[in-house]
Each structure stands twice: as structure tokens, then as C-alpha cells.
């Protein structure tokens, strides 16, 4: 079972960090260690792909977060979630059973695409290590968009090339509403919801968690 750790990366303008969204992971998972990684960690820690992080800083901060999450997972294990995501229900132990997991981006609109928005691994994971190695072998990652060079395309290609026994959870577990407009309408468990970088400035301040969850649910499933 994976360690009960949830990692969130937020780099750039810390005044815009979505504290209320991050708090949902802390509040609903009190038995997990939730750590937010930021600018200080980026500047002070040793990173294998720091040169790519420096380049991405001037292009797409989400790419910097991608690069950091892989090395964080490799070092510490646990789960990495996007900062602009909310937890809707406590993470259950069966989610932690695979030694490596990710989820499909969307089975209907992007079949075969593995997303890195919600990933989990043990420390020293062979699969995560291969992602880091592939990145280290790249001359540059800023010649294309982050989702191609450091995000879902990279993860998908690494999985296809290695044939690693990666557990890929259904997309609705963490992304019940895709940016394409597809909405999950089933009755199965939904643990999180990704805002796809639509984080509002008001979410950076301390707000009532119940209000945030109501807003998140409304966004995910539409008005009831």
C-alpha cells in the first residue's frame, strides 16, 4: 500500500495559491500527511531536471509543477494531485493498493490518454524513475506545450514504451467533469474534481469549506 501522503505543488505567485481547494484534501483526509511544495522548495532542493524547471518557469508554470511532482513522488511516495483540484470524499485504502497508479484523461474524448493530474507511487518507483530519466535525456522541454513535453503525453508514452504494470483508474474517480464538456452521471465514487486551471482568486483566501465544496460539486455535476 502506498504511504498516506498527498503532495500538492504550487509555484509562482503564492498570493494566488488556492488555499481553500488544498484544504479540502487536508480536511477530508485527516490521516494523511498533506504537503504543499512551492517556490522555496524549488530553489533550495536538488532536482535532477532543474534545468528544465528553469526553462519552463518562463513558459508554463504547470510544466514546472509536473517536473517537480515526478521527483517528489520518486523520493517520498504517496499521491500527487493538481493544486487546482478539490477533494470531494476521503481517499479510500483500495486507491492506495497499486504500487503505481494514474487515471485516464477521458475514455470517450481522449481514449488511451493517461493524465498526470492524479498520480500515486511508492518511493523509488521504477515507472516514475523512467519518466524522470526520459526527461533528463531531453535536450529541451519548451519546444512544445507542457501537456506534451512534461504532462499526459509524456506519461502515456513512457507507459506504452515500458509496458509497466501501471494501474489506470477510470477518469470519473478524479475528473467527473472533463474540460471537453463530458460529465460523469453515474453513481460510483468520485474522490476529486479538477478545475483545469480555472482557479478563482477568491479561492486563495480563507473561505468556508462547505461553500467551496458546494461550488465544486455544482461545477462538477451541474445545478441540481
Tell me which of 70 and 196 has the higher pLDDT: 70
Check whether 84 has a pLDDT greater than 60: yes
The tens digit of pLDDT for each residue in 56-81 reads: 999 999 999 999 999 999 999 999 99
Q: If 0-12 CB within 10 Å is exposed, 13-18 middle and 19+ buried, where does residue 182 land?
A: middle
Lowest mean pLDDT among 24-33, 37-46, 193-202, 211-220: 211-220
Report the C-alpha gap between 105 and 164 in whole angstroms. Answer: 18
Domains of the chain: 5-221 (3.90.550)
Report the C-alpha gap between 199 and 115 in whole angstroms. Answer: 19
For the segment 186-210, the average pLDDT, to the nearest whole number, is 62
Check whether 217 has a pLDDT greater than 50: no
The tens digit of pLDDT for each residue in 3-50 reads: 999 999 999 999 999 999 999 999 999 999 999 999 999 999 999 999
What count of residues does the chain have? Answer: 224
Q: Which three cell numbers stand for residue 147?
A: 501537456
pLDDT at 54: 97
The tens digit of pLDDT for each residue in 120-179 reads: 999 999 999 999 999 999 999 999 999 999 999 999 999 999 999 999 999 999 999 888
Amino acid at each position: 500500500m502506498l504511504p498516506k501522503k498527498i503532495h500538492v505543488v504550487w509555484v509562482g505567485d503564492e498570493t494566488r495559491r488556492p488555499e481553500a481547494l488544498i484544504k479540502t484534501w487536508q480536511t477530508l483526509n485527516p490521516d494523511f500527511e498533506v504537503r504543499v511544495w512551492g517556490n522555496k522548495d524549488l530553489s533550495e532542493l536538488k532536482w535532477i531536471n532543474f534545468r528544465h524547471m528553469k526553462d519552463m518557469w518562463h513558459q508554463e508554470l504547470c510544466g514546472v509543477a509536473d517536473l517537480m511532482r515526478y521527483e517528489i513522488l520518486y523520493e517520498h511516495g504517496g499521491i500527487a494531485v493538481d493544486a487546482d483540484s478539490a477533494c470531494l470524499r476521503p481517499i479510500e485504502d483500495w486507491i492506495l493498493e497499486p504500487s503505481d497508479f494514474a487515471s485516464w484523461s477521458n475514455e470517450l474524448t481522449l481514449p488511451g490518454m493517461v493524465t498526470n493530474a492524479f498520480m500515486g507511487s511508492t518511493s523509488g518507483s521504477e515507472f516514475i524513475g523512467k519518466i524522470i530519466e526520459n526527461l533528463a535525456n531531453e535536450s529541451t522541454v519548451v519546444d512544445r506545450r507542457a501537456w506534451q513535453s512534461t504532462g499526459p503525453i509524456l506519461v502515456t508514452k513512457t507507459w506504452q514504451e515500458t509496458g509497466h504494470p501501471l494501474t489506470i483508474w477510470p477518469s470519473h474517480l478524479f475528473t467527473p467533469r472533463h474540460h471537453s464538456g463530458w460529465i460523469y452521471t453515474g453513481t460510483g465514487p468520485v474522490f476529486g474534481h479538477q478545475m483545469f486551471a480555472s482557479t478563482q482568486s477568491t479561492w486563495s483566501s480563507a473561505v468556508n469549506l462547505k461553500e467551496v465544496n458546494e461550488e465544486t460539486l455544482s461545477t462538477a455535476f451541474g445545478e441540481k
